[in-house]
Every structure is written in structure tokens, then in C-alpha cells.
Structure 1
Amino acid sequence: MAQDAPSPPDPTHESLWRPLRLLQASMDADIGRLYAEARTGGTAGLKASWVMELLRLHAAGPMTITELAESVGRTHSALSQKVAAMRAAGWVRTVPGDDARSKKVALTDRARSVVGRLAAEWRATEAALAELEAEIPYPLSRVVADIEQALARRSFHDRIAEKLAEDPSWD
């Protein structure tokens, strides 16, 4: 009986950015825990990842998905999925837009009742992040700015394409 060739090593065991993603997921989970622990205030079932959009809608009023996506720096597709989830959870609704063909995303009464709490959490989170950055020798906001500058010199796409050009498995 012939033996199968050994499997190639799994490259996903190595990841420079996995720790960053896990850190962010952990911090988001902590924010979610604060919402879950709130005994009053109507934040049950709220996802921390929805707060920016809810606050933006509160500040700017109803927006199309395209307007909201541009406002928060996301793609239309990503925002469309997020809005569908927020609508299903009762945080937003759609209302007629400026013409008969368009719709806008608006806060529900439920969302409007908690925006003050959401803004308080946002401010507290930003203050806690500033405190964390003051404790470390090289703040993450500086890392991000430095990476953005390096990518302005040569894009991530071009960097990856160069590495792929050197890898015979890509051909």
C-alpha cells in the first residue's frame, strides 16, 4: 500500500498580525461585557462593533447605506451587512429617502434611548486607550501612522505581489 505524501506545513501557524487581531477582539469583548453587565439602560444585545454607526446616525441623522459607509470608512457591502444585522436586532430601521427609489437608515426609538450611554462608553474607551498608550513605549496610534507612511511609499499590494513573484507555488 502506497503511503500518502506528507502534507506541506500549514502556513497559518505563523502570523505576525494574529496577536493584534486577538487583542482587539479581546478588548471589544470587554466593551461588550460592559453592555451585558449594565442592569439598566437598554443595551442588552448591543454589539460594540455597532456603536460608531449608531452614534454617527444620531449625530448626522438618517443616511443612505452609501453615506453611512463613507462616513465610517467602510465598504458599502460591509455596511449593508452590518445594517441588516442592526435592523434585525432592533437598533435601526429604514425610512424613505429623498426620492421614491432610495432608503435611508435611521435609529429606532430603542437606539435613541441609549445614545447617551453609547457616547459615554465611547469617551471612556478613548480615555482608557489614551491611558494605555501612555503606559507603553511605542503607542499603537504611532505604529498605525508609521505603517500608513510606509504604505504610502509602497503599497501592501505591491509588497505582497513582489513576494508572490518570488514564490514558485504562486505560478
Structure 2
Amino acid sequence: MADSHIPDPTRESLWRPLRVLQASMDADIARLYSDKRIDGLKPSFVMELLRLNALGPMTITELAESVGRTHSALSQKVAAMREAGWVETVPGDDARSKKVALTDHARSVVGRLAAEWRATEAAVAEIEAEIPYPLTRVVADIEQALARKSFHDRIAEKLAQDPAWE
């Protein structure tokens, strides 16, 4: 049973609006796929599919490095993409290694995915031109702030002041 005298800290969140915005934008992209009958494709798969199309089959490690993700995160994503029919595992350069490759189904829509990527980037640029403080500037400013003091250190300092963390 929940301890009722501890207030729910999740009622306030500075992150939530950003997460909700990204989810809404991803849902709009997914709707475009649905309109074109590209079923079972998550917007989060597209970078990896386009990278595989551009560079050919890669090991999970190579693909992870290529897109700036951890091996563990990419391994899970590749499993989901395999289950959805977008990628397959093919023999690697030696008998022990495997590579991730596009399926015929993925190859049949990759041109549309590249078009969507270009259109999405153009739409984001259009939005950035309409607002006084573009997202790319926000990200760069946050990165600079985190270079001065890491997110970990900032949170650790706050937790050191909170007796509930003891």
C-alpha cells in the first residue's frame, strides 16, 4: 500500500511537455505511414533502416556506432524491427558473426522513408524559423550547460540535500 503522506512528485514535470510533444510529432509521422499503408513501422526505426540502406548490412555493434546508440539499446531495437519484418539476420564476414540487413519489404519502402525523413527535417526547419528560440539552439545550450556540470552531478547534489535519499 502506498505511503499516503508522501506527495506524488510526478504531478510536476519539466520534461513531460517535451516528451508529449515528441510523442505527438511521432504519432503524426506514423499517421503518414498508415496513410501510405506502410504498416507496422515505428518512426523510431527509420534512421536505422535508412542507414542500413545507405551502408549495407552491418553488425549490431557497427549499426549502434553508426547511429550513436549503445549496443544493448540497438540489440533490443533490432529484435523489434526483425519481429516487425523490417530487418533480417544474415551471415557475417566469418562463420561466427551475423549482420543485420533490410528485408525485401523494407527495401520496397525505403525510398518513401527517405522522402519522409527529408520532409520531416524541412518541416522542423520551417517550425524553427517560426519560433523565437529554435530547438537546435535549446539543445546546444543544454549541452553547453551539461559540459559545465553533468546531469549526474546536478541530480546527485539535489539528492544529497534530500533526507529521503539517505
TM-score normalised by structure 2 residue count: 0.96
Counterpart residue number, 1:36: 34
Displacement of 1:17 in angstroms is 0.7
Displacement of 1:73 in angstroms is 1.1
Displacement of 1:76 in angstroms is 1.0
1:69 matched to 2:64? The reply is: yes
Counterpart residue number, 2:10: 12
Q: Which runs of 5+ in 1 are unaligned?
A: none
1:133 matched to 2:128? The reply is: yes
The one-letter amino acid paired with 2:77 is: K
1:122 to 94, 98, 117: 117
Q: Distance in 1 between matches of 2:162 and 2:40?
A: 46
Q: Distance in 1 between matches of 2:41 and 2:160?
A: 45
The one-letter amino acid paired with 1:49 is: S
Name the SS of the counterpart of 1:8 in structure 2: coil
1:102 to 83, 89, 97: 97
Q: Distance in 2 between matches of 1:153 and 1:21?
A: 25
- C-alpha RMSD of the superposition: 1.3
Name which one, 1 or 2, has greater alpha-carbon Rg.
Answer: 1
Displacement of 1:5 in angstroms is 7.0
Deviations 1:28-61 (A, max 9, x none): 000000000115xxx2221111000000000011
Counterpart residue number, 2:85: 90
The one-letter amino acid paired with 1:57 is: L
TM-score normalised by structure 1 residue count: 0.93
Change in CA separation of 1:93 and 1:137 when aligned onto 2, cut-off 3 Å: same
Q: Distance in 1 between matches of 2:109 and 2:3?
A: 59
Q: Distance in 1 between matches of 2:31 and 2:39?
A: 10
